[in-house]
Amino acid sequence: MEDGRWKKAASAVMACQGFNFIFYPSSFIFSFIRRRLMKIGLFGGTFDPIHWGHLRSAEEVSETFGLDRLYFIPTSIPPHKRGQTTTPASDRLQMVRLAVARNPRFSVSTAEISRPGVSYSIDTIRAFAARKQPGDALYFVIGLDAFREIGTWKDFPAIFPLCNFIVTSRPGSKERDPLKGTGVAVKKLFCYDSKQKDYRHQSGTRIYFIELTDIAISASEIRALVEQRKSIRYLVPIDVAKYIERRGLYGGRRGKRS
Ligand code: ATP
């Protein structure tokens, strides 16, 4: 656009702003202080212990989806691993705190640990949905293996209108369709959006799939290594390794070098 047209366009915009200020002063002011809508991620797990696989996937998800904040939510009594997790919730929580301490976009939530009874995701998501500001969006981050089970979760149809899902690839798995294997009861609630290449719920929420860098670490492998008195260095953050050693978790000797 040549110089004269720029000036005309600029003065038209200023005239509109002036008109707004005179006749609608509040809308004029609010347009300047309007809050940016937040994208809030929820990342649940037993984190027994938290490891680099969890942390790297959290980082890649946050970056790809532009999340403003990602809450790590250690579970108290996981419905699908009932009786399998013997590590005290306070230790798992402390390890998560140590692991995320240096990332300003990561936070830790005690929503499940401080709630008595079995940790159902519907209760956690409802709590976050009730607390968020209007317009903010929730994203529940979950591995493909865990998402396959969603049809067995308590009140699962009630979850979908409350949050989007970011389903992450699992190391070694070639599957890319998040709804495959979830069952008819789940599939019928979504339609495929071929433009966006994701699934849309009738409420407007979506299921996204993200392919992550494969980091084939599992918490069970770490527990087994500690039990066998083997090194877990470079599988977990150093502060987590030190904590496991100091507390003698997973049958390891207290004070042993990790
Ligand atoms: P376990 O071996 O005890 O089953 P886990 O590390 O697989 O432990 P959680 O701590 O409950 O299980 O995992 C929390 C979430 O992190 C789940 O959604 C899971 O799919 C995902 N996850 C776990 N390990 C990895 C990994 N290496 N890469 C990407 N995602 C992972």
**Which residue has the least CA distance to atom 9 on ligand 1?**
45
**Which residue has the least CA distance to atom 7 on ligand 1?**
218
CB-based pocket (< 6 A), ligand 1:
45-48, 53-54, 57, 142-143, 145-146, 168, 170-171, 212, 215, 217-220
Query: Is residue 16 a part of any domain in this protein?
Result: no
Q: How far is the CA of 143 from the centre of ligand 1 (A)?
A: 7
Q: How far is the CA of 228 from the centre of ligand 1 (A)?
A: 21
Count of other CB atoms within 10 angstroms of residue 167: 27
Give the domain range for residue 112: 39-210
**Res 77: pLDDT:** 87
Residues 167 and 52 in one domain: yes
Residues 234 and 168 in one domain: no
Q: How far is the CA of 219 from the centre of ligand 1 (A)?
A: 7
Q: How far is the CA of 54 from the centre of ligand 1 (A)?
A: 6
**Res 172: pLDDT:** 82
Residues 167 and 57 in one domain: yes
**Which residue has the least CA distance to atom 28 on ligand 1?**
53
Give per-residue pLDDT as tens, 180-206: 999 999 999 999 999 989 999 999 999
**Res 31: pLDDT:** 54
- Best CA proximity match to 179, nearest among 138, 208, 153: 208
Residues 112 and 173 in one domain: yes
Residues 94 and 159 in one domain: yes
**Which residue has the least CA distance to atom 22 on ligand 1?**
54
Residues 73 and 193 in one domain: yes
At 71 the three-state DSSP class reads: strand
Cβ-based neighbours of 203, under 8 Å, separated by 6 or more: 160, 161
Residues 104 and 166 in one domain: yes
Residues 120 and 224 in one domain: no
CA distance 65 to 56: 14
Residues 59 and 140 in one domain: yes
Q: How far is the CA of 28 from the centre of ligand 1 (A)?
A: 48
User: Which CATH number goes with the domain that contains 49?
Assistant: 3.40.50.620
**Res 246: pLDDT:** 96
Query: Is residue 78 a part of any domain in this protein?
Result: yes
pLDDT along the chain (258 residues), means of 10: 53 53 56 77 97 97 98 91 78 98 97 95 97 96 94 96 96 88 94 93 96 94 96 97 96 60
Residues 58 and 168 in one domain: yes
Q: Probe ligand 1: pick from 46, 214, 225, max atoms within 8 Å of CB?
A: 46
Q: Which atom of ligand 1 is nearest to the CA of 51?
A: 6
Query: Is residue 19 a part of any domain in this protein?
Result: no
**Which residue has the least CA distance to atom 21 on ligand 1?**
143
Residues 54 and 145 in one domain: yes
**Res 2: pLDDT:** 47
Number of domains making up the chain:
2
pTM, full prediction:
0.85
Residues 201 and 223 in one domain: no
Give the single-character DSSP code of 82. Answer: T
For the CA atoms of 55, 99, 49, 57, the dihedral, rounded to the nearest 10 degrees, stands at 0
Q: How far is the CA of 173 from the centre of ligand 1 (A)?
A: 14
